[in-house]
Amino acid sequence: MEAVSPITDIIYRVWNCIAVRTDYVRELQENLNALRSLMEELRSLRNDVKRRVNIAEGQQLSRRRDQVELWLQMVESTEHEVDQIIEEGFQQISNTCLGGCCPKHCCFSYKVGKKVAKKLKVVTELRSKGDFGEVAYVLPPAVVEAMASRPTVGMDLMFENVWRCLREEDQVRIIGLYGMGGVGKTTLLKKINNEFVDRGTNDFDVVIWVVVSKESNVMRVQKIIGDRLGLSLQEDESHDAARASRIYSVLSSKKFLLLLDDIWDRVDLELVGIPHPDSKNKSKVVFTTRSEAVCGRMEAQKKLRVECLSWNEAWDLFRNKVGEEVLNSDPKIPELAKVITRECAGLPLALITIGRTMASKKTPNEWKHAITVLRKSTSEFSGMGDEVFPLLKFSYDSLPNDIIRYCFLFCAMFPEDYNMEKKYLVQHWIWEGFIDGFDVMNEASNQGYDIIGTLKLACLLESGFIEDTQVKMHDVIRDLALWISCDCGRKQGKLLVQARIGLTEAPGVEKWQETERVSLMENNIRALTETPTCPNLLTLLLNGNRSLERITDGFFKFMHILRILDLSMTSIGELPVGIVELVELLCLNLSGSSIHTLPDELKLLVKLKYLDLSYTNFLTTIPIKVILRLPRLQVLNLYTSSYGDWEVDGDDVSSLVESGCLKHLKDAGITIRTVPFLEKFFNFHNLSRCTSSLLIERCKGLTTLPLSPSSSDTFFENMKCLKDLYLNNCLDLEELTFSWVVVTEGEKTIPLNLETLILTNLPKLKIIRDVAHPFFQNLAFIQILNCDALKDLTWLIGIRNLQTLTLCSCIGIEEVIYGEIAVVEEKLTTFSRLKVIHLQELPKLKSIYRNALPFPSLLTMEVHGCPKLKKLPFNSNSAKSTLTLIRGEKNWWDQLEWEDEAVKSDFLPNFSWYSSPTFF
């Protein structure tokens, strides 16, 4: 190879350098065009990548990759530089000489050309790196996602209870929040969710919110949870178990809080893939439901009822929705607004809906009209029929069957805020035929109480004033029932309900034509003089119209299929002859009325099954032979009736009773006022076997009950249905014995069902003995008045269901329980369910019991006129969380002796003194 001389090498190198630099100048135009074109492609690619990034990040579960972010930044920076270079290059090209063939400033053109060439390489490289397969990666789930929510009103205490369960009570893993529709359960759950955001707490690795709803299924719930966890769960994925496995694999290593809103039945956590919350994973579940029963099926360790708002809370919420401008627009409006607030009965949904509607009403006339609409037809008020009631109706639709739905709708027949006695409500359902059979003492009655329980669990009924025996209906729920009975507002309803609204006259006859049930109870109607045509009428409730004295003969003329007529607690003295028109009548209730005679024509009501004449203080004439011959009579109630002449026509009545004329009788209330009839009564097996209420009074010469020692073993043998026993004014009675008789049906022991025992004005009664208390498992109410010879009630030991004990004017009683209770179990169960104790005018009473008892259910104790009662059977553990009131004279309280000062201090906040007794 020929050697290159140094000079030649230098020349070669100089030439190459000159050539390259010449190329920068000579190819400037071509390179600028190429750079501009390539930059446009890079911009287009950059825009595509940014769109992909925005889409991924918009799902809130992804974040752009770092290399993508760096590339976008580099493209952004390069873009500005390229734009400047291109502008400089084209300016340089335009600045030429020699006819455009040579740049004026070759050095500057060289520098620009060099920049263009370098940027071509940079843009080309960026373009090649912009083909990303994935522009973002999946983020781990946020600990909690904030939710839009309205401010909570009146839920601070409930919230704190839940929050304490979540953070402090480790043993509580599943919490159920239940309550009627529209009460604010979802709002409360959202507040719980958002509190984790507001407080910045990291108690849980992840908080998951799922709206379950009535129509939900496992697949849908899994999909929501999967999305929250960043799992891509397809609805067409092989099966629930596969999805559950993927969810479980993520959550099994996390401490999670699952918030389930609006569940209607049990959510199987295992089936969904949720690890069961326990002490190991420390996870928790909170859910909302309208049914307390669902809380049980979800195995909630804590069940919290979300209640309606108190008056002050309701008023604050309503004012907020109406606005101060409207409330201040007229001096009369605030008082009218308070009336509407009361109509909403504390239900937030109703308060909000109605408040929004009234926010534009600035005249008193508009507000008065709104009150009228709410009271007469709530569904016609704006927002109620299309927003509130449809939401609440889901609870009605979810009831287990039509029988329970019928029973629910019937409750709207009673007035607003009416405390319905469970016993009478069940009776009504039986009369209506909602519950098959008139066997009110057995299965039909049990079914009725079960239905009440179901409606309470569904939050469609709530406890009444007396929790154990009464229920009531929330005003808005009652309006819902009336709306449903009117076919959801689409046509005239089958119920005509104008109960306790101050009527002095019955509604016009035109309103009766299409109705099936009419309730005008507890008004001031004086007379029924028209002749309504109502061929479909089945039920007519007129009870509680104490001014009602007259019904004309023609009133019943066109009620040919009427089955239930309730005239109880009215001033009706005699029935109109026209009652014979009611050939389909099944139930006639005259309880507590002023009826003084019954017509012989009663025998024409051959389908009559129920006849209630209890508490009829003026009844003197009754066709007893006619009643005993009513072929289908199943219930006959003469309890505390003034009628007591069972000796009409000598022994004729006895023969009728014994001959099987009452063979269909299943329930009876009896009043006995003579010893001869008392002797016969227990031989009337058809009558005594089904007697549920028995009053024995003014029986002169009655010294013992049973009548003789020989009859003691059979006295109650035939009275297994007896629930209420009332002994009154038997001035010679000295001894009352309940024997240890075991009543059997085959091999089954039938306990005595006695629930109420009242002993009044029995001045010689000394002994109540041999009480077979295992057979008094239902005895709940005991009242003893003016029984001066009694010294103690030690026989009460072991009566486990006793809830109310009243002792009054028994001047001989020294101790309620005498001596020591020997058996530990009996000591614990004695008074274990006692809620109310009334002690009045017991001058010799020294103690209730000598030692302390637990009293785990005691609510109130009232003491008056018991100067020798110096010590109560209380210690620091007695009535620990239940007692709300001890009432008595202040000087009595001051003289009480206590185990120590600490015990006295514990009970002091519950004491209230009075100067005169208030309970009799």
For residues 800 and 854, give the distance between their C-alpha atoms in angstroms, rounded to a whole number.
13
Using alpha carbons, select from 706, 717, 832, 810 the residue that is nearest to residue 766.
810
Q: Give the burial string for 123-146 (b: 16+ CB within 10 Å, else e).
A: beebbeebebeebbeeeebebbbe
Q: What is the pLDDT of residue 18?
A: 47
Q: Is residue 857 part of a domain?
A: no
Residues 316 and 450 in one domain: no
* Mean pLDDT value of segment 309-314: 92
For residues 267 and 549, give the distance between their C-alpha atoms in angstroms, rounded to a whole number.
58
* Mean pLDDT value of segment 115-144: 78
Using alpha carbons, select from 809, 768, 764, 756 the residue that is nearest to residue 785.
809
Q: Each residue of 377-389: pLDDT tens digit?
A: 888 888 888 888 8
* Mean pLDDT value of segment 9-21: 49
For residues 206 and 229, give the distance between their C-alpha atoms in angstroms, rounded to a whole number.
9
Q: Is residue 300 part of a domain?
A: yes
User: What's the chain's average pLDDT?
Assistant: 84
CATH of the domain at 334: 1.10.8
Q: Are 621 and 598 in contact (CB under 8 A)?
A: yes
Kindly indicate the confidence band of residue 19, based on its pLDDT and cuts at 50, 70 and 90: very low
For residues 329 and 340, give the distance between their C-alpha atoms in angstroms, rounded to a whole number.
17
- Last residue within a domain, chosen from 262, 286, 305: 305
Question: What string of DSSP letters covers 130-194?
Answer: T--S-SEEEPPPPS------PPPSS-HHHHHHHHHHHHT-TT--EEEEE--TTSSHHHHHHHHHH
Q: What is the pLDDT of residue 824?
A: 60
Whether residue 493 is predicted with pLDDT greater than 80 in this model: the reply is no
Residue 869 gets which letter from DSSP?
Answer: -
Among the ranges given (42-51, 133-142, 313-322), the one the predictor scored with the smallest mean pLDDT: 133-142
* Mean pLDDT value of segment 834-850: 94
Among the ranges given (222-231, 648-657, 727-736), the one the predictor scored with the smallest mean pLDDT: 648-657
Whether residue 429 is predicted with pLDDT greater than 80 in this model: the reply is yes
Q: What is the pLDDT of residue 714?
A: 52
Strand 462-463 versus strand 470-472 pairing type: antiparallel
Residues 162 and 290 in one domain: yes
Among the ranges given (192-206, 323-337, 470-484), the one the predictor scored with the smallest mean pLDDT: 192-206
Q: Is residue 134 part of a domain?
A: yes
Whether residue 497 is predicted with pLDDT greater than 90 in this model: the reply is yes
Q: What is the pLDDT of residue 642?
A: 85
Residues 434 and 484 in one domain: yes
For residues 421 and 470, give the distance between their C-alpha atoms in angstroms, rounded to a whole number.
5
Residues 160 and 301 in one domain: yes
CATH of the domain at 445: 1.10.10.10
Q: Is residue 464 part of a domain?
A: yes
CATH of the domain at 178: 3.40.50.300
Residues 242 and 326 in one domain: no
Number of folded domains that form the chain:
4
Q: Is residue 749 part of a domain?
A: no
Among the ranges given (146-150, 416-420, 444-448), the one the predictor scored with the smallest mean pLDDT: 146-150
Q: Are 688 and 682 in contact (CB under 8 A)?
A: yes
Sorted by sequence, the CB contacts under 8 Å of residue 628 that are 6+ apart come out as 653, 656, 657, 661, 662
Among the ranges given (75-89, 188-202, 733-747), the one the predictor scored with the smallest mean pLDDT: 733-747
Q: Each residue of 247-304: pLDDT tens digit?
A: 999 899 899 999 999 999 999 999 999 999 988 889 999 999 999 999 999 999 999 9
Q: Is residue 597 part of a domain?
A: no
Kindly indicate the confidence band of residue 839, based on its pLDDT and cuts at 50, 70 and 90: very high
Residues 103 and 10 in one domain: yes
Residues 201 and 287 in one domain: yes
- Residue numbers of the domain that contains 367: 311-376
Q: Which residues pair with 667 in a beta bridge?
A: 635
Residues 301 and 315 in one domain: no
Q: Per the structure block, which two tokens stand in for 29?
A: 């135009």
Q: Per the structure block, which two tokens stand in for 823?
A: 């058996």
- Last residue within a domain, chosen from 351, 376, 401: 376
Residues 408 and 366 in one domain: no
Residues 295 and 319 in one domain: no
Kindly indicate the confidence band of residue 335, based on its pLDDT and cuts at 50, 70 and 90: very high
pTM equals 0.77
Whether residue 411 is predicted with pLDDT greater than 50 in this model: the reply is yes
Kindly indicate the confidence band of residue 517, based on its pLDDT and cuts at 50, 70 and 90: very high
For residues 786 and 709, give the distance between their C-alpha atoms in angstroms, rounded to a whole number.
26
Sorted by sequence, the CB contacts under 8 Å of residue 254 that are 6+ apart come out as 204, 205, 206, 281, 283
For residues 756 and 252, give the distance between their C-alpha atoms in angstroms, rounded to a whole number.
56
Residues 433 and 330 in one domain: no
Q: What is the pLDDT of residue 665?
A: 86
- Last residue within a domain, chosen from 439, 462, 493: 493
Residues 450 and 478 in one domain: yes
Q: Is residue 120 part of a domain?
A: yes
Kindly indicate the confidence band of residue 78, based on its pLDDT and cuts at 50, 70 and 90: confident
For residues 291 and 692, give the distance between their C-alpha atoms in angstroms, rounded to a whole number.
34
Q: Is residue 622 part of a domain?
A: no
Q: Per the structure block, which two tokens stand in for 21?
A: 């630099």
Q: What is the pLDDT of residue 12?
A: 47
Sorted by sequence, the CB contacts under 8 Å of residue 892 that are 6+ apart come out as 863, 866, 867, 869
* Mean pLDDT value of segment 415-436: 91
